[in-house]
Amino acid sequence: MQISRGSTDYRIYRTLSEKPASGEELGRELGITRTAVWKAVQKLKENGIQIESDASGYRIIGEKELNPYMVARIAFENGFDEIHFYDVTDSTNTRAREYGKPSVLFFANRQTAGRGRYGRRWLSDEGGLYFSITLSPPLDYSDLPKLTLIAGLSVAESVPETEIKWPNDVLIHGRKVCGILSELHGEVERPLLIIGIGINVENPAPENGISVSELFDMSRKEVFELVLRNFSKNYQKLLSGSWDELRREIEKRCSTIGKKVRVIMPSGVIEGVAESIAEDGSLVVDGRKIHVGDCIHLR
Contact residues for ligand BTN, defined by CB under 6 A = 91-93, 111, 114-117, 120, 122, 130-132, 169, 179-181, 196-198
44 with 51: CB under 8 angstroms? yes
Eight-class DSSP state of 148 = H
CB 256 → ligand BTN: shortest distance, Å? 15
How far is residue 267 from each of residues 107, 264, 270, 289, 294, measured CA to CA in Å? 34, 8, 10, 13, 12
CB 203 → ligand BTN: shortest distance, Å? 11
Distance CA 186, CA 188 (A): 7
Between 149 and 181, CB nearer to ligand BTN:
181
CB 159 → ligand BTN: shortest distance, Å? 15
Between 34 and 204, CB nearer to ligand BTN:
204
Q: Helix/strand/coil (H, E, C) string of 195-259?
A: EEEEECCCCCCCCCECCHHHHCCCCHHHHHHHHHHHHHHHHHHHHCCCHHHHHHHHHHHECCCCC
CB 76 → ligand BTN: shortest distance, Å? 20
147 with 164: CB under 8 angstroms? no
Between 115 and 220, CB nearer to ligand BTN:
115
CB 114 → ligand BTN: shortest distance, Å? 4
Between 67 and 94, CB nearer to ligand BTN:
94
Between 56 and 208, CB nearer to ligand BTN:
208
Residue closest to ligand BTN, measured at CB: 179
Q: State the CB neighbour count (10 A cutoff) for residue 276.
A: 16
